[in-house]
């Protein structure tokens, strides 16, 4: 009986036993295989073959090795070093990097010399935990910040805006170099961001506070943006100023504007597309801006007689401004509509033309960048960045599309270097056939000559390579040798370009025989050539300024002086070229787009004069700056005129240049003993003239508060605690402190309040809870201006 039970158990066990080997046929049929050379299943099914595949053996998984304590500490120390490097990069703009390195090296050496036991390590961790709040406080000593081996913070392109001269570190530097009696010269620079914000507020508000119209009224305005009973006046306006629309000929010709206007005031108005109406409105806006400039320019003859200046006898100056605002709102409606539903290439051209208007007449960085972003997005959606889009085009369409794409690339790179923003276009995704398209495809267009297109395309490629080699995240600029190699490479390419350019188009330095000044431009081609030369010198100035901005160890002053001379000579060339240039008539400046070139050159040269007031070139440079202030930055006006964004911007830039020039002259006089203004009443009047235009800039904080109360006392329409019924507290004047520049407060919500009264008009705009916000919108100007580096840092003198 027991034997019978054992046999039964054995049979059950044999039935449940898993057969590890099975032929391929049994595997597919999922049946049990006996494992023989030719199994019974294959014999019964008469399969042609019975094959056994070898099973692939999987490698055994190794168990993860547990880290030892010293390995964990090494890993944590490496992470902490990286974190310390990032912290130091934030403080690199205001602290001396050499002191930081020395302090960090000494602390690191002490750690290595005194080994820490586990008990001591645990004790120190407990102590650091107990003092966590104290060590993480913003009031901790900045001198304990460590060094880092990464890129210099100033190499980030956003720090290269000329607005960095208004940063806290730059103002502190100027204050330390001024005498006590001249410390009030900083007041207009401190107050300038607030006045700038107030002057541009009405224009920016138009973009999100459109006038309330019902749907029928809105459609009627979109279809008929111009006054019906002013036909003759509109034709006179366009006929007189339409040539100003030829700045970018491929986008909109003056003949196209006149043809569209004739259609508008005829029975064929229904035939006009929305893109044609958009471009027509933009052209009229540019003409209105020119007419208003003539009427408000006190230096122009008969400036008070609008009819004689603009031949618009039926328009008063107030009516002209009202018409401008109405048409601008209609253009915003076109922009919003085309942003969602475009009309192909014409939409891209209209959007780029809108950007041209912004650059010439408004110069609001945020709005200009927004419009340009939409234009480039539409161009990319059309595929203008890929050669496949052009293969089915006719020759004429091919040339037009190439020119439109190159115009978009030009604006992209120009805004990149002007405002410190990264490029919008991913040039790695652009077809190589389009990179050198003018030379490769021999673009023919009556508006542009082929040699000019080739040279301008080469300048664009140089600027793109400048960004990639010096300012992009992947640029190799961690050491002086790497930075020097990139700068030398770019300089060589720029000088090679000069050697291959036509003599009539070639940029000449101010001390070369072929150089000549620009007094007046007779045609659009001359304006294009001048713009290409200015762009070349601006890029040369930017490239060669970088080696002087950092105190790299073991770098001789002779090596840096080569780059210093190239950078300053480029700035001088721009100023000599433009100091006697007038766009039309006496004392009337060019557009805001062109004004950028002498502005950044003057600021750069002023920084050099303040950094080295005893240099041999300082006196000559100041003389050149004074001459530029007497011509380019000396626009006169009469009081009580109707304001415009373009006019206000030109006045504010004039105040900026004259205020910094006055500070530079004061520093030069104090260090050299040479008097420039003491016995020259004419120059005194020149540098005191901004007080007549914007007196609140030079007053106390109370004067500033009374002149622009909405900026300081407005309440945010957005809730502060996330509840619908809450309302944020009004903007306070806690950021106006006494005596000078206060310490930075860079947190998003600082509760800092001054301990003393408000006087001398000194403003700490690092406090974002103060006047940095208006109408509920945080201003990027106030958010970033405190983060800009010291504009006067100079590696030639070991850092200033």
CA dihedral 591, 658, 792, 621 (to 10 degrees): 90
Q: Which residues contact 31 (CB under 8 A, 6 or more apart)?
A: 41
pLDDT confidence of residue 756: 30
Classify the C-alpha dihedral 76-77-82-86 as positive or negative. Answer: positive
- Running DSSP on this structure, what letter comes out for residue 392? T
| Structure tokens that stand for 745 in this block | 């407060």
Joined tokens for residue 739 = 């005596």
* Per-residue pLDDT tens over the stretch 174-204: 888 888 888 888 888 888 877 777 777 777 7
Longest dimension (CA), the chain: 135
Instruction: Report in angstroms the alpha-carbon separations of 23 from 18, 310, 438, 453, 542.
Output: 14, 98, 68, 74, 75
Q: What are phi and psi of 49, to 5 degrees?
A: -150, 155
The contacts of residue 63 (CB under 8 Å, 6+ apart) are: none
Closest CA to 580 of 510, 646, 680, 643: 510
Structure token digits, residue 66: 């547990």
CA 281 to chain centre: 28
Residue 206 near residue 332, CB atoms below 8 Å: yes
Burial zone of 48 (CB within 10 Å; 0-12 exposed, 13-18 middle, 19+ buried): exposed
Closest CA to 466 of 406, 528, 413: 413
Residue closest to 329 by CA, chosen among 198, 212, 200, 196: 212
Q: Cα–Cα distance between 529 and 525 in angstroms, integer? A: 6
Cβ burial, residue 266 (10 Å; 0-12/13-18/19+): exposed
Q: Are 52 and 72 in contact (CB under 8 A)?
A: no
Four-point Cα dihedral 508, 511, 515, 519, nearest 10: 120
The set of residues, in sequence order, having a beta carbon less than 8 Å from that of 217 and lying 6+ positions away, is: none
3-state helix, strand, coil in the chain (%, to 5): 60, 0, 35
Q: By the 8 A CB rule, do 283 and 238 touch?
A: yes
3-class SS of residue 445: strand
Q: What angle do CA 117, 119, 120 make, to 5 degrees?
A: 65
Whole-angstrom distance, CA of residue 256 vs CA of residue 242: 10
User: Which residues in the chain show pLDDT less than 70?
Assistant: 1-20, 55-68, 89-163, 209-214, 244-247, 249, 294-315, 363, 437-452, 522, 582-590, 635-646, 701, 705, 707-800
- CB burial class (10 A; 0-12, 13-18, 19+) of residue 631? middle
């Amino acid at each position: 009986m027991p034997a019978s039970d054992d046999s039964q158990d054995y049979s059950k066990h044999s039935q449940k036993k898993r057969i590890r080997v099975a032929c391929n046929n049994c595997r597919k049929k999922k049946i049990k295989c006996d494992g023989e050379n030719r199994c019974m299943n294959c014999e019964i099914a008469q399969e042609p073959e019975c094959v056994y595949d070898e099973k692939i053996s999987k490698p055994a998984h190794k168990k993860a090795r547990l880290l030892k304590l010293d390995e964990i500490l090494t890993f944590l120390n490496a992470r902490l070093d990286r974190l310390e490097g990032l912290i130091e990069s934030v403080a690199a703009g205001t602290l001396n990097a050499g002191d930081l390195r020395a302090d960090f090296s000494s602390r690191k050496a002490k750690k290595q010399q005194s080994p820490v036991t586990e008990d001591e390590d645990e004790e120190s961790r407990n102590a650091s935990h107990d003092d966590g709040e104290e060590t993480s406080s913003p009031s901790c000593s900045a001198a304990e910040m460590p060094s880092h081996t990464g890129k210099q913070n100033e190499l980030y392109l956003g720090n290269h805006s000329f607005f960095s001269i208004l940063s806290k570190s730059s103002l502190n530097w100027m204050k330390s170099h001024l005498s006590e009696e001249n410390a009030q010269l900083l007041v207009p620079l401190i107050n300038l961001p607030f006045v700038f914000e107030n002057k541009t507020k009405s224009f920016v508000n138009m973009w999100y506070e459109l006038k309330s119209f019902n749907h029928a009224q809105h459609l009627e305005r979109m279809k008929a943006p111009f006054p019906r009973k002013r036909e003759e006046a509109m034709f006179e306006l366009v006929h007189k100023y339409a040539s100003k629309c030829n700045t970018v000929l491929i986008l909109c010709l003056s003949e196209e504007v006149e043809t569209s206007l004739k259609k508008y005031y005829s029975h064929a108005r229904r035939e006009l597309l929305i893109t044609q109406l958009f471009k027509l409105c933009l052209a009229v806006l540019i003409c209105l801006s020119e007419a208003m400039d003539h009427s408000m320019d006190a230096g122009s003859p008969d400036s008070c007689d609008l009819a004689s200046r603009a031949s618009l006898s039926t328009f008063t100056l107030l009516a002209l401004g009202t018409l401008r605002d109405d048409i601008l709102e209609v253009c915003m409606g076109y922009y919003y509509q085309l942003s969602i539903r475009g009309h192909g290439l014409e939409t891209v051209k209209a959007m780029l033309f809108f950007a041209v208007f912004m650059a010439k007449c408004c110069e609001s960085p945020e709005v200009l960048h927004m419009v340009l972003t939409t234009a480039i997005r539409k161009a990319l959606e059309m595929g203008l960045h890929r050669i496949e889009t052009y293969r089915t085009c006719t020759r004429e369409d091919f040339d037009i599309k190439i020119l439109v794409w190159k115009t978009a690339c030009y604006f992209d790179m120009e805004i990149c270097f002007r405002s410190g923003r990264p490029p919008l276009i991913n040039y790695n995704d652009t077809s190589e056939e389009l990179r050198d398209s003018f030379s490769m495809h021999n673009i023919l267009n009556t508006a542009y000559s082929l040699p000019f297109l080739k040279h301008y395309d080469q300048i664009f490629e140089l600027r793109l390579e400048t960004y990639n080699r010096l300012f992009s995240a992947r640029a190799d600029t961690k050491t002086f040798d790497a930075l020097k190699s990139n700068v030398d490479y770019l300089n060589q390419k720029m000088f090679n370009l000069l050697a291959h350019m036509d003599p009539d188009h070639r940029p000449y330095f101010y001390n070369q025989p072929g150089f000549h000044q620009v007094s007046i431009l007779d045609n659009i081609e001359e304006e294009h050539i001048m713009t290409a030369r200015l762009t070349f010198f601006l890029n040369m100035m930017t490239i060669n300024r970088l080696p002087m901005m950092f105190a790299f160890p073991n770098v001789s002053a002779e090596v840096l002086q080569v780059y210093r001379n190239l950078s300053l000579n480029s700035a001088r060339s721009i100023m000599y070229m433009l100091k006697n240039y007038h766009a039309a008539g006496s004392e009337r400046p060019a557009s805001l787009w062109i004004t950028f070139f002498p502005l950044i050159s003057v600021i750069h040269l002023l920084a050099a004069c303040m950094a080295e007031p005893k240099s041999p070139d300082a006196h000559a440079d100041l003389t050149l700056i004074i001459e530029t202030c007497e011509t380019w930055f000396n626009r006169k006006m009469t009081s009580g005129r109707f304001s415009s964004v373009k006019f206000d911007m030109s006045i504010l830039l004039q105040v900026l240049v004259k205020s910094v020039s006055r500070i530079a002259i004061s520093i030069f006089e104090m260090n050299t003993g040479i008097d420039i203004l003491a016995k020259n009443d004419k120059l005194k009047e020149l540098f005191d003239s901004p007080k007549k235009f914007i007196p609140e800039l030079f007053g106390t904080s109370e004067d500033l508060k009374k002149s622009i109360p909405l900026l300081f006392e407005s309440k945010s329409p957005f809730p502060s605690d996330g509840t619908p019924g809450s309302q944020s507290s009004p903007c306070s004047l806690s950021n106006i402190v006494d005596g000078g520049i206060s310490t930075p407060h860079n947190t998003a919500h600082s509760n800092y309040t001054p301990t003393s009264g408000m006087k001398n008009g000194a403003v700490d705009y690092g406090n974002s809870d103060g006047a940095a916000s208006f109408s509920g919108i945080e201003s990027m100007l106030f958010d970033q201006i405190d983060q800009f580096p010291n504009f006067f840092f100079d590696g030639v003198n070991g850092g200033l």
